[in-house]
Structures are given as structure tokens and as C-alpha cells.
Structure 1
Amino acid sequence: MSKIAFVTGASTGLGHELAKQLVAAGYDVALVARRLPLLEDLKKELDPLGQRVLVLQADVSSWDEIMSAVDRTEKELGPIDLLIANAGVSLDAPLKRFNAAEARRVYEVNVIGLMQTVAAVLPYFMERKRGHIVGVSSLAAYISVPRSTVYCSSKAAVSSYLEGLRVELMPLKIKVTTVCPGFVRTPMTQKNKFKMPFLLDAPDAVRIMMRGIEAKKTMIHFPSSLAMIVKGLRLIPAPIFRQILLRLRPG
């Protein structure tokens, strides 16, 4: 019997590629995103592979929509085994043109949206005393870069939330995995106007994610070279560290 995966942000980028690799690995999938035509196109691509594919239009920042999507999945596909909370948005926000509405939207999707997705699935996992929660954070959670402070701080919140969730769910044997990618070639990163070191194509990035998910790793950081650099930077004295960041992303 196939395992069932629930994937948010499935219309483009990492979520789109995750859907393809999950189906290839034998999962039935529920694909969740706001843009229904893109999900339907993806379903047409996946249907010939023989796994069940359920398309669900929902905005993760809406509790009613994400709760309905989870309930439909449980009823139409069956018990969810794997939740991948992947939906996210980015924002280039220099201080001179800060927009509160845009910043609020980043937090509504990246932080509240992920929390709501977990909260919608968690009662099912807790009742069955099994399940695997995968939350997509970022290496940006470790370093708040000028012009990207809204996005970076949202991902720091995601990582902190997942760490606490992991500890709380340990007695129930529910696994929690935090994924921290570096730069991946997706529609989200195409608008970046700065050099992106160690840039990965989405299929390569998702292959790394899939290996870590199948192994039920606690943390998945990639690419390894950039992850080592990011972690190493945190060991540098703070005044020097700040000067380095200032030169990386002048505001």
C-alpha cells in the first residue's frame, strides 16, 4: 500500500519537484497551493506514473482552507504519512522602502502558514501515534542578511518552532525534520539580483531532501559547502561578522 504525502507550495519550485520525486518513489500525493491551474498541469504530468494525485487549492495562511485540504486528503486518499510544509515567499526589503503589508504577508505564509499546516495535520498524527512532519526552513535562518531581514527572520522563526515541536512530539514517536536549503534555482530565486553561491538546480536539491526524509533525519542542510560556511561565520566575533555581512549585501 502506498504512503500518502501532503505537500504545500506544490505549484512551483521545490514543491513542484518534490511532488514529482515523491510520486516516482511510490507515494500518493496531495498537492496544495493557491494557483489551481499550475496544480492541474502538474497532476496531468504525474497521472501516467500510476499513483493517486489529489489537487487542492488552498492558501496556507487561511486556517479554514488548509484545514479543509487536510480533511479532504484524509477522506479521499487516506491517512497522511508525510507532511511537507514547503509553502513560502521571499521579500527583498531595503529599509528605505519597507512595506508593512508585504512583511506581514511573508510572516503569514512562512511562519503562521507552516504552523497552521502542522496544526491541521497533527491531530491525525497524534491519534495514530505516528507520522513525519517536514518543515522547509533555510540556511538564511542562521544569518540575517541586509535587505533580506524579513525573510531571514521568518525562517529563523520556522527553525525555532520546528525544534520545539520536535522535542514535544518525541514521546509520541512523531518525527520532525527541518530542511535548510541554500540557494536553489526556482521562480522565487530568479528575481534575486545578487550572486548566489553554490546554486543548485531544483531536481538535485530535492534528491538531497528525499534522501534525508527517507532516513528521517532531524536536520537537512545543503549544499554542504555553503552550510559549513554559514555555520563557520557564526563563530566569528560579532563586530567582524557584521562587517562581512555589510559587504555581502550592501543596503
Structure 2
Amino acid sequence: MALQPPHSDEKLPAYESTARVVLKQHGPRRHYLVRRVIPAILTILVICSLFRTAFVCHHHYHPHLWRTPAPIVEDEAAESKVPLEIHVMSKCPDARDCLRELIVPTMIQANEKVDFAMSFIGSVDPNSDAVSCKHGPGECLGNIILLCAAKVYPEVKLWLGFANCMITDYPDIPKRDLVQSCAMEHGLDFQQLNSCISEEGEGIDLLRASIERSQENNVTRSCTVRLAGKVRCIRDGGEWYDCPGGSSVDALVDDINNLYG
């Protein structure tokens, strides 16, 4: 899905309208909204998310993924992991298909050999702190929530499971019920996510840095898969292309095995 300017006349529910204000304003008023309005919204989510569940997503994810805790590895082994990165838009059907058809099955087989990352595609204003996303401020807020999950819960099985759960139902991002449900399914504490999103604009800073990373790598299509710093495959418009070696899980796992170590 190629990056295009968002529609300015899009009508948003109250939750997403707040995101529009937060993402477009800056200066003292922006900081007030980031520190006051967003925490108020997410406090509701915290109250609804007091009870955690085990790492099993009954309809979004694979329950056999990472059944045992990842072993502690030596620094040398960690450095030998193969960089695997996807660049996506959170409200994009190609991002959903990319995770479901390629990334999640690959991680089931090769997670211990991979240094996995997810970056987002959007636009930044070089003259201000403003950012924008193709599918509007709701997508920007969804991206922030996923980035904060990765920051607060760096163990990939937690934040990737949460991200997959959210993007599986991408039309509902960032609706409260979806965020609450995915957080509960994957054991994420919304109080900690709330702190990341609201503290001095930390969440927006994460989003800006993520978008800039995609731009630095000349990525404009969601979903773009990069392996060891090179484009490995692109999912766009419901099709796979630019996939040397093929778009199958087995082909990607073979490439990872060949690069590992």
C-alpha cells in the first residue's frame, strides 16, 4: 500500500479526533493535550484491563508460538542474529496479510535467529513536530500504541503478538475495545503503555523516529520486508512482488538460516 496524503475531511469518532489534535498541534498546547487528554482516555483502558491473560490469542495468533521462554544468549550469539524488519501502516490490509502469511509463520520457525523490528510509514513535517499517516490520525495513534508496546515489552513474543492481534482487525484501530482485548490477550499492562504514550510526547517522538527510519531506507510500500538490510519482499495491493527466492515461508526461513552465524 503506497503512501498517500490523508483525507482532511475524514470524520472521526471522539477517540480518534483527540489523536488528530495531539498529532497536529505543538508547543505548550500540544504538551498539555499529550499529558492531559491522552492519559484521560487511556485511564479508561487501564481500568478495563486490570486482569491479564496468558500469552495465547485464541483467534488472532498461533498458540504454539514460543511455548518456552527464550533462553539467555551470549553477546556473540546475539550479534549473529539476522536483521529482519518490516515497514507497515497499521491500518493496511497488506500489513495484516504480511504478518499472517509470512512474518508470523517465519518467526515461529526462526525467532531465535532473528533480530526483528517493525517500522512505520508516514510523513513528517521538517519544520515542526507534526506527523501524518495515510489513513488519518487514527492510524498514527495505532502506530504509537504499537511502538510503545515494543518499547515497554521488548521481548518480541509479547509485542509482536499484540501487534498481530491489533493489525488482524486493522479497520478497528485504534478503537478502545480492540486495544483492550489485544492487551488482555497478550498480558500487556495498559498503565505502562499509557505512561509511554503520554509522557512528554514520548509516543509521538517514537513515531517520528520510526517514520524517518522508513524514509531513510526509501520505503514507501506497506508491507515491505527487509532482510539483512536489503528488500526481501513487498506485499502491496494484495500481491507479493520483488521477492528474490520467492515469497514462501520456507524460502524466507532458508535465507535466514543461510545468513545466521
**TM-score category by the smaller chain?**
under 0.3
Q: TM-score, normalised by structure 1?
A: 0.27
TM-score of the pair, normalised by structure 2: 0.27
- Which structure ranks higher in relative contact order (CA pairs < 8 Å, sequence separation ≥ 6)? 2
